[in-house]
Amino acid sequence: MAIWRCGTVIVRDVLHGSQTIKEEVLADLIKSRPVQRLKGATQSGFPTKGNADMFPTYTRFDHSVGVMLLLRRLGATLEEQVAGLLHDVSHTAFSHVIDWVMGDPSNESYQDSVLETYIRGSELSDILSEHGYSVARISGLEKNGNFGLLERKIPDLCADRIDYSLRDGHLMYKLDSDYCIRHLKVRDGEIVFDSRRAASLFGRNYMRCQREYWGGNEARLRYYFISQALKIGIRRNVISKPDFYRSERYIISKLRGSGVEEITDSIAKGLGVLHFTLSKRQGIKLLKKLRYVDPKYVEDGKERRLSEVDAAYRRLIAEEKARCHQSVKVDPDRVWTR
């Protein structure tokens, strides 16, 4: 949630509480149309309805503001906070489902590939220029290595990875996210934990989210059905690619009102209470990006990775790598919803 007051913005966040944003560049960006548009895009990519207790969701706006707030707490520069706020601004409706429509589901990089183009084509470019920031630097992220607190390659910690995993862990598993945040520190320009216990709590929550949610069979099957509805919708001229930069609610309404059975059946399966049976024969192949972390922590002045001292955690990583590379199929004749 965001409230405007005399040029400042007050944001109320589930992880960071109420915060007053007085920096003009951040306030201007938060109030901009492209950032406000993210309130219409869910982080998960499938707005939950019948199964909200199993897969609670929040918006890309919540995540983007949360990343910015986490960077503030960690003492990041204002420029890196700006980059954190805008790092997901080019996300379409349904977030990474778009990679099943026009990208690569195993990589999920469509949004990153259009980030700079999107910023340059919007009012964000003028706002950044007015406040003396470079679009190229702000949109460079991991590619250019400009912001080491915001983005790092797997399996390291970064503000982006920390925010979405703590947010999902808090909503799904009642994770003590505040404890994890309190035990974060910056060492030599990198985010680490200051205790093994905090690193273990965070790491195990992340791997649980990956196994049961982000990389789980149900989430992957929902991505498949929603992407099918979107692809057929484009092919049948029910929706167009510019619609992806409107709200998910708008697109769902057009798909449901299309009268095309293939579309309405697919969107019902993608958003409803889903039941399915895995198959050993040919069927719907489920793809998903591999995500894992191996957090660093510091104790007694020494820096270690969790997997170096925790054999059980090391096995968790190995099992997840093997699971995500396995071919998983669903029997298309044994998928139903209610």
**Extended beta strands in the chain, E state:** 2-5, 8-13, 17-21, 184-187, 190-193, 274-279, 284-286, 296-299, 302-305, 328-337
Condensed to tens digits (0 to 9), the pLDDT of residues 155-199 reads: 999 999 999 999 999 999 999 999 999 999 999 999 999 999 999
Give me the pLDDT at residue 52, please.
44
15 touches 166 (CB < 8 A): yes
Cis link prior to 155 (omega < 30° from 0)?
yes
Q: What residues have CB less than 8 Å from 231, skipping those under 6 apart?
A: 101
Condensed to tens digits (0 to 9), the pLDDT of residues 262-315 reads: 999 999 999 988 899 999 888 999 887 899 999 999 999 999 999 999 999 999
| Domains recognised in the chain with CATH numbers | 2-217+288-328 (1.10.3210.10)
Classify 186 as helix, strand or coil: strand
What is the reported pTM? 0.94
Q: Inter-axis angle of helices 24-31 and 78-86, to 10 degrees? A: 10
Taking only the tens of pLDDT, the chain with its 338 residues reads: 665 555 789 999 999 999 999 999 999 999 999 999 999 999 999 886 544 445 668 999 999 999 999 999 999 999 999 999 999 999 999 999 999 998 788 788 899 999 999 999 999 999 999 999 999 999 986 555 789 999 999 999 999 999 999 999 999 999 999 999 999 999 999 999 999 999 999 999 999 999 999 999 999 999 999 999 999 999 999 999 999 999 999 999 999 999 999 999 999 999 988 899 999 888 999 887 899 999 999 999 999 999 999 999 999 999 999 988 888 899 999 998 87
Q: Which helix (H) or strand (E) holds 301?
A: none
29 touches 124 (CB < 8 A): yes
Q: What's the CA gap between 115 and 135, in Å, rounded?
A: 10
Helices (H), 236-310: 248-256, 261-271, 306-309
